[in-house]
Amino acid sequence: GRARVNAAAFLYDYNDQQFVNVVGISVFLENAGASEIMGFEAEIQAGITERLSLQIGMGFLQTEYKELTLAETTTIADNNDSIDLAGNELISAPKVNASISLDYDVLVTEKGYLAANVNTSFQDDQWFSAYNDKAEYEETRQDAYFLTNARLSWFGADNRYTVALWGKNITDKEYDVYAIDIQASFGFTYFLPGAPRTYGLEMSYNF
């Protein structure tokens, strides 16, 4: 009675799946004739000791456009040229994601308790465009990366108040959450960076 396991397997078979495609400074709502997502995810929660608990999660994705044709965007392409992208991976669909979280009650007293949490997540490499590495979109992607967060919280004995000191992305990992290829219009690819190392103090009170 000290552990719990949740797991799920899934299969999505899409017809005419819609997505936003950005070409230069133009935005198009496109239809992929057919696409498929297969996956599996599992989570384990366990009480290692009375004070220490562990949570591990992992997910696997296999994504593919079965039918997709978009405009050819290379500099030598004519306006009417198109490219077959069947077999490409879906947008923002990393093959593997994983996380691990540890909670430990550092100090337990009659007035309350002090708890610490450290967690790390992993995101596999992913594409930010349906073109993947075709039509000069090979830079519109993100390599695999880890993010680590930590939190130290004091909980009052009556659960009326909480004080917490937290830090996110404590290793200050540089990563991007999205990218748009605007080479044709401005000669570069625009990347939207993820949040840098962030610290904070949080206080809450329940009336």
Residue 35 has pLDDT above 60, yes or no: yes
Which of these ranges, 46-60, 120-134, 183-197, has the smallest mean pLDDT? 183-197
Mean pLDDT on 28-46? 94
Kindly report the average pLDDT of the chain as a whole number: 92
Q: Confidence class of residue 186 from pLDDT cuts 50, 70 and 90?
A: confident
Q: Confidence class of residue 103 from pLDDT cuts 50, 70 and 90?
A: very high
Q: What is the DSSP string of 78-147?
A: -TT-EEE-TTPPPTT--SEEEEEEEEEEEEEETTEEEEEEEEEEEE--EESSTTTTSTT-TTSEE--EEE
